Amino acid sequence: MAIDYPILRQWKFPEQVSSYDETDCIRYALSLGIASDPLDEEDLRFVHEDALRVVPTFLATVGAPGAWAADPRTGIDWLQILHGEHRMRFHGAIPGTGQVRSRTRITRVVDKGPGKGALVVTERTVTDSASGALLATIEHVSFCRANGGFATSTHPGDAPLDALPVVPASEPDMAMEMPTLPSAAVLYRLNGDRNPIHVLPGAARQAGFDRPILHGLCTYGMAARALIRVACQGQPGRLGSLAARFSAPVFPGETLRAEMWKVGEQVRFRMVAKERNAVVLSHGVADLRL
């Protein structure tokens, strides 16, 4: 079964109301490797309930629509999906406990051509359930590797999102190295993403990988961790947006190096798997607040 463009563009997602507490925020921070040094007082602010600081990318894990693409009516071969890009804009501080309302819609279905796959873009708005205040806008780009070639003259598909910028050719202005545990994916999946390619060797092989890979959103969250620590002086509220492309898989146990360049009020960045010298997160850009 192939992608049916009209069906996908009109796909209905149920509105979700999700509650979370300090334990959820702390578990998320731990899954990013924060406080791997338990004597690091800057990190402890993200894992102790007294005046808890929340990594804003935590909202990527709250109220997400789940494995909706596994529904056969989508026509998507869901075991062949990769996370292509992720873009988040933060509109306000993220409290340590709360209830949020998530509304998701499909905004683009892009045909890259036969044998080249398709891109499906969902947009999710996250608001505070009590006040209605907008907390975050999230764009999730799924690369459906097995689903290119669906376009017709009647339904040619949508244009892709504007391209993300490349990093400068110069040496980075800032850098931070972060080791990952061999069990990092087993821990990160407790945030809600139970895709078996991250934990079961057989499922990973079926998807074309030698062994389970780390969740892309874990790498993305680790980029946020580095930006907050190095570019935002430990203040998560200074991170206004974060966008990046997932360019290669990360294998749990590798060391990730965040390389950052200051460009005006933005920071451009990439994440490199140090042992392989492989760029695993590219075209990274973050807006900073003063």
Burial profile 77-105: b = 16 or more Cβ within 10 angstroms, e = fewer: bbbebbbbbbbbbbeeebebebebbbebe
pLDDT of residue 53: 97
Q: Which of 43, 193, 215, 283 is catalytic?
A: 193
Burial class of residue 199 in the structure, from the number of CB atoms within 10 Å of its CB (0-12 exposed, 13-18 middle, 19+ buried): middle
Alpha helices in 198-267 (DSSP H): 201-206, 216-226
pLDDT of residue 117: 93
Q: Is 2 a residue whose pLDDT tops 90?
A: no
Q: Is 56 a residue whose pLDDT tops 80?
A: yes
What value does the mean pLDDT take over residues 180-192? 95
Q: Is 1 a residue whose pLDDT tops 70?
A: no
Domain boundaries, position 123: 5-288
SS3 261: strand
Q: Which residues contact residue 151 at a Cβ distance below 8 angstroms, ignoring those fewer than 6 apart?
A: 5, 111, 157
Report the CATH number at residue 154: 3.10.129.10
One-letter amino acid for residue 68 of the chain: W
40 assigned to active site: no
User: With pLDDT > 90 as the criterion, what percentage of the chain qualifies?
Assistant: 87
pLDDT of residue 245: 98
SS3 46: coil
Q: What is the pTM of this model?
A: 0.94
pLDDT of residue 193: 87
Q: Which of 83, 86, 198, 215 is catalytic?
A: 198
Q: Is 102 a residue whose pLDDT tops 80?
A: yes
pLDDT of residue 92: 83
What value does the mean pLDDT take over residues 125-136? 96
158 assigned to active site: no
The pLDDT confidence band at residue 151, using thresholds 50, 70 and 90, is: confident
Burial profile 5-37: b = 16 or more Cβ within 10 angstroms, e = fewer: beebbebeeeebebebebebbbbbbbbbbbbee
Q: What is the number of structural domains in the chain? A: 1
- Crossing angle of the two packed helices 22-31 and 216-226, in degrees rounded to 10: 90
User: What is Dmax (Cα atoms) for the chain?
Assistant: 61
> Higher model confidence: residue 290 or residue 198?
198
Picking from 109, 117, 139, the residue whose alpha carbon sits closest to that of residue 5 is: 109
Q: Is 183 a residue whose pLDDT tops 80?
A: yes
Distances (CA, A) of 150 to 11, 123, 139, 166: 17, 22, 22, 30
The pLDDT confidence band at residue 121, using thresholds 50, 70 and 90, is: very high
